[in-house]
Structure 1
């Protein structure tokens, strides 16, 4: 699943500033409502806050994923914020610093499948240091969307490119030593043949 399929530039906040996690949840809920993703903002907000009381939603790697399953959600979607300064969020081992907040909005009918797929995609991507650093360094919503739109093909291409670059370097190193050796052997053979004449 590509994350870009479930969000849009209008639902992404860069260099966001929040007083606390509740203000972050309210701001992202407002974004979803403003862009027509909810039929009832208050109903969805209550679902998110109820879920927050049930257990921690900070998952490590500076990531928090508050979420709500509600009939007020038209289709699976998320809004996200990249905060300017670390925000403390409830995690498994107490409060932990968060820099990325993804608010997932899921209709009950897709609570199992889509919800788990998005969570799995998010966590597997954000475990990768390169991806996380690129995301945190993004200076525009377009950059973020471009990263969200990345797929395995582009990763495989980059990996293949790196492997080819390494092979080229090895070939250069080999030729640096092989050429003089072959040339030296050629000269010796020529001298030997010349002496036979």
Structure 2
């Protein structure tokens, strides 16, 4: 999974400044709503805040991953804020400084699969010191999307030859008629032998 598949430039904040984690969560939730990814902002926000109460979402390495699973989410997505300076966030051993926040929004139907795959991709990318450093030094949202693998997708789309549209359905009635008829005869013969 490429991170770029689950976000967009309008969901990325650079040099963000927040008073506290609640403001950060609110601002990123606003971004998700403005992008049409939420049908009910308050319902999603309630899910995120409930999750925050259940346990810490700062994962070390200056990374916080608040998240919410909610029916209000239209598709799996995340908003991201790269912070100017640091913000204290609840971690396993008390509050810890973070400078990267990824707010994950997951529909309940994809809570196991997409959620875990996204978390795994995110954390495995961010344990790489070089990747983290490049991310924090990004000057534009294009830079961030490129780091998330967006440039590769763009190149692939440009290199793919245009394909003729495939037919939506194929007429197989001429093949199915003998098959259905033969099946009917076999079933009739079987039932006749049982009598």
TM-score scaled by length of structure 2: 0.76
Q: Flag the structure with higher helix content.
A: 1
Larger Cα Rg: Structure 1 or Structure 2? 1
Q: Per the alignment, in what secondary structure is the counterpart of residue 36 of structure 2?
A: coil
State the distance in 2 between where 1:61 and 1:141 align.
Answer: 22
Q: Per the alignment, in what secondary structure is the counterpart of residue 145 of structure 1?
A: helix
In the TM superposition, 1:28-43 aligns within 5 A as: 28-43=28-43
- Quote the residue 2:44 is aligned against: 44
In the TM superposition, 1:1-197 aligns within 5 A as: 1-149=1-149
State the distance in 2 between where 1:62 and 1:30 align.
Answer: 23
For residue 151 of structure 1, report the CA deviation from its aligned partner. Answer: 9.6
For residue 150 of structure 1, report the CA deviation from its aligned partner. Answer: 6.6
Contact 1:2-1:151 within 8 A present in 2 as well: no
For residue 18 of structure 1, report the CA deviation from its aligned partner. Answer: 0.3
Contact 2:5-2:150 within 8 A present in 1 as well: no
For residue 32 of structure 1, report the CA deviation from its aligned partner. Answer: 0.2
> CA distance change for structure 1 residues 150 and 11 in 2, over 3 Å: closer, same or farther?
closer
Gapped regions of structure 1 (runs ≥ 5): 153-197
Contact 2:4-2:149 within 8 A present in 1 as well: yes
Gapped regions of structure 2 (runs ≥ 5): 153-195
State the distance in 2 between where 1:118 and 1:61 align.
Answer: 17
What value does the CA root-mean-square deviation take over the aligned residues? 1.3
State the distance in 2 between where 1:101 and 1:63 align.
Answer: 6
